[in-house]
Amino acid sequence: MHKYDMLKRADRACFLEERDVMVKAMAKNSPWIARLHHTFQDEKYLYFLMDFYNGGDMLTLLSKFDDRIPENITKFYAAEIVMAINSLHELGYVHRDIKPDNILVESSGHIVLGDFGSCLRLKDGIVKVNTAIGTPDYISPEILRAAEDSHGTFGIECDYWSFGVVLFEMLFGETPFYSENLIETYSRIMNFSQHLKFPTECGDISECAKDLIQKLICDRKARLGRSGLADFIKHDFFTGIDWEHLRDRKSIHS
C-alpha cells in the first residue's frame, strides 16, 4: 500500500484499524478472520504479509454456480459467514462492508472474513459516524441515515443487514435493491419494505430461507443478530448445523 495514496485519501486510520483487527484475531487464534503474519514498511510502502486464499472469494463461488448457489450449499456457507461476523463483533468491531468480495475462500472450501479497512471500534455496542462507508448494494439504511444526521449511531446490526443481502444474492443470483442509478439504489434501501421482493422465477427456495432474509433485511430494532449468535442457532433455516464443529467438518464444496 503506497503511503502517499493513503495520506492523500486520509486512510491512515483505516489501515491502523485493519491491522489491529487482524492482530487481535491472531492473538485469539480465530479461524474466521483473515490471518496476518507480519506488517512492515519502507520509505514508500506499507506491507501486510497475510495468508493467500486460493479459493478466491464468494464472487468466485457464485460464478462457479452460474450466480445461484444451491440452498443446501448456501446453508453451510451462510452459517460460516454468521460465525465470521460474530467473531469480529466479539473482538469489539463492526465491519460495515460485508459483501461477497470480502468473504474469502480457503483451499479447504471454508471461508474467512477479510478487508477490515472500514471497521470501527464499538463503544458500548455502538458507533457514531456521519459518513456512509460501505458498498452501495449492501449498505444498511441506518448507515445511510447516520450520514444525514450528525447524531446518528448504529451497531452490529448493520453487518447483519449486509449479510441478508449477500444471502439473497447467493440464493437468487442478484441483489434486492440494485439500480444503475446510485440515488435510486439508496432510495430503495431506505424504503426496503416496498422494494424487497423475491423473484417469482426462483420457486425452489424454501420458506424458511425467505423468512431468514426478511428477518435480516428489516428494521434494525427487529433484525436478527442483535442478540448475537443465538438468534441464528434458533432459526429453522439452520436446522442440522453443528455450530460447535462447523469448521471441523469437510466443506460441502471444496
| DSSP state, residue 216 | H
Closest by CA to 202, choosing from 154, 169, 159, 158, is 169
Nearest to 58 by CA among 166, 217, 212, 174: 166
List 51, 66, 97, 204, catalytic entry: 97
* Residue spans of beta strands (DSSP E) within the chain: 36-41, 46-50, 93-94, 103-105, 111-113, 120-121, 126-128, 153-155
**Strand pairing partners for 105?**
111
Q: Is 137 a catalytic residue?
A: no
Residue 187 sits at φ, ψ, to 5 deg, of: -65, -40
Place of cell 438468534: 231
Active-site positions read 97
